[in-house]
Amino acid sequence: MTSQEQKFSQIDEVSSCFCIAKWLQVTIDLVHGTNHSCHHPKRHKIPLDQLAKDPSALHNTLFKKQQRKIMLEGTRPPECSYCWTVEDTEGRGISDRYIKSTDPWAYPHLEKVKQLAWKENINPTYVEVMFDKVCNLACSYCLADISSSIANEMRKFGPYPVHNKSHRDFQETAAELVGEVNPYVEAFWKWFPEILEDLEVFRITGGEPLLNSNTFKVIDYLGSSVSKKLTLAVNSNLCLEDHLIKKFTKGINQLLVEGRIKDFELYASVDTYGQQAEYIRNGLDYSQFIKNVEYFCSEAPSSRVVMMCTYSVLSIPGFDKLLKELSELKKKYSNLILDISFLRHPEYLRANMVTPDLVTKIAGDIELMKELATFSEYEIGKLTRIYDWVSAGATKDQNNLYRMDFYSFVNEYDRRKGTNFLESFPELGEFYTVCRKTKMLLG
């Protein structure tokens, strides 16, 4: 059995900056015709001339091959600065380069990747794809580039009156630039049959994937083949009409029952409880969401359902109620798990700019998770890490800037959406006053 440290050494033996993700993992945005591997480097354009010659350019662009080349030569690709920063900190910096390279979809292929000349194409084992950005929600923290509802809002109202205006800004899609047929989606369907045999993880993101016919085309395609090592994953806001939820659930359950794929994971997003969750994710119907979670859990029982919480300042007041609701659901459905990550962008919604009383609330929620006795150590650890980050706080300058922008953002958001922040979040009234005073003094 090779230990984790031995695996790390084997990775470094290839070169001090070698990373298998550069060969085997890709996130492809078929709307704008870009990709990156892994998700840390900036997305780069997939040139249409390269794609016309070979659909594998969806992953194996000349640009990416150059990055692989310099990695093999022992030079750090600048686009991977996320990892170099971690590795240059004091102590043993275990960057994602090590973590990803030793993941189950990467490490077993080390020898194959090592033997490959830098110019060669390779099939990825981990693919994440966005077919479309059509989405029925316009979440407060989301981007115009991945939600048509936000793009429409930004066309109508323009930028928010905050310091960093780029967050919700948008650009024209590849499909809009080249006509009705999207060449990237066309190339995907030529390429997918070629890579299926090697695929271990295939994840569909959006937009809302259930609103795009390609998601159902994938399910149909997989229903006519057998992919024994494939984990299929789909993100969804689950705030959709019953007929779509039923069609989707039936299709996935059939894939599992017939043994067409190894596993299925549904990533369903909600960030706090009830009406406050509806404020954060504009367009969400919380009751419908919970009803659909229950439906999927019970009708596709051998799948895994991950509740994804993007934890922002707005998650804090009602998070205990969400935990209690999830705890009851977990008693009924053993296939349901909670995942919490902290929101980084936009900065003005970050939880680490809050006042001390709200930090105490998070500590109480960690205790609540323990008392409920339905959450695993892994799940509790996720909220504990958020507590550590929030309690470390931001710098004074960051607090001032983010609080001013928070105040400006929620007022403008209320104007655009017809919502009322103080009625929705009475527990954040004092924090709102702090932000307003900061804006009056410094804004």
State the residues that interact with ligand SF4 by CB under 6 A: 19, 21-22, 37-38, 40-41, 80, 82-83, 95-97, 100
Considering the complex, state which of residue 100 and residue 260 has its C-beta at the smaller distance from ligand SF4. Answer: 100
- Cα torsion at 387, 392, 394, 400 (round to 10°)? 80
The DSSP-derived string for 43-103 is PEE--HHHHHH-GGGGT--HHHHHHHHHHHTT---GGGHHHHHHHTSSS----HHHHHHTS
State how far the alpha carbon of 122 is from the alpha carbons of 14, 20, 23, 25, 357, in Å.
18, 11, 7, 10, 52
Cβ nearer to ligand SF4, comparing 80 with 322: 80
Both tokens assigned to 68: 């692989």
Instruction: List the beta bridge partners of residue 263.
Output: 231
Q: What DSSP state is assigned to residue 118?
A: T
- On whether the CB atoms of residues 264 and 296 are closer than 8 A, the answer is no
Min separation Cβ 77 and ligand SF4, Å: 7
Closer residue to ligand SF4 in complex, CB, 57/80: 80
DSSP letter for 122, please: -
| For ligand SF4, the closer CB: 37 or 249 | 37
The minimum distance between CB 285 and ligand SF4, in angstroms, equals 37
Residues 6+ apart with CB under 8 A from 192: 218, 221
| Shortest Å, Cβ 62 to ligand SF4 | 17
| CB of 48 vs ligand SF4, minimal distance in Å | 24
Helix then strand count (H, E) for the chain reads 20, 11
Residue 116 CB neighbours (<10 A): 15
Q: Which is nearer to ligand SF4, 38 or 268 (CB)?
A: 38
Which of 2, 85 has the CB closer to ligand SF4? 85
Query: CA 443 to CA 402: how far, in whole Å?
Result: 11
How near is the Cβ of 124 to ligand SF4 at its closest, in Å? 12
Residue 268 has phi, psi (to 5 degrees) of -110, 130
Closer residue to ligand SF4 (CB): 15 or 411: 15
CB of 67 to ligand SF4, least distance (A): 8
Locate 45 and state its tokens. 């354009």
Give least dist CB 37 to ligand SF4, A.
6
